Structure 1
Amino acid sequence: MSVRPAWKVRENGTATTWCNVRLAFDDGAGVDLLAAVREGCVAIEDVRARPALSLDDLAVLPDWIEGPLLEACGGAVGARSDDTSDEGSPDKRHARPARPRGMEALRLVAAEYSEAQQAGRDPVLAVMAATGHSRRRALRQIAGARDAGLLAPRHARR
């Protein structure tokens, strides 16, 4: 992980520092982001990731960067003391958690789709959240689950 201060703005006795942050993972994945640090608080302004981050990874991203970012750009005023565990550090995790492939992936898609449909939620959004894929990719996986016989056909055949 590298943190480089980009610029600093002083206004009404407070200073806001913008920093460029780069996370590199062992599996070749990477995350570049622009974060603003003000009075011990971190705000993420822009994120670019290769491959795209899942919602789970996006949720833990602030935990990964908070400690080093506050040290480099704004002082460790708001740093939490629980940052010492290795469990959530980016070099100990992959950019994207392992997901099932093949028939197991189709079963997961079918289960999420059916569960969301029974609960009255949007099944495509449920598949997108479960797999971390785009709408187009989720629709392809749903079609694959239909073709495999795990979901009912879309239209009744005569």
Structure 2
Amino acid sequence: MSVRHAWVVREGGATASWFDVRLDFADGARVDALAVLSGREVRVEGVRAEPPLSLDDLAVLAEWLENPLFAACVRAPAHALPAVSRRGRPAWPRGREERRLVAREYQEAREEGTDPVLAVMRVTGHSRRKSLRLIGQARDEGLLAPRRARR
């Protein structure tokens, strides 16, 4: 899969960034999509597939795109994505309260069967590395179970 930041449109105080997404499968099938990040929402604007996607495949397309697309949005230049940059991030507590909220979000995602690190990335607006650091700090404070049991 490849994700490429295509262009940015600014109007008033709002910014929208478009991404070209390509999925290549081992059997030669290909899916091209155009996704847009507006505020903190990512939407797929267009899809082209060879061979055409079935309705079942189209239904799981969002799952195929979610993690790589979100990672690309976080890595994109901060001037293009104010909603993910430090200044555009919604107010988020620091210190112990931050780690408590990170632990709660992590546990909720685990219970729902979704990626807990991605869930923490979404709510904090931090990169994967920073989110993992916060999760580790929450573990160190005893807010989350240890990663590995000691023998």
TM range (shorter): 0.3 to 0.5
TM-score by length of 1: 0.46
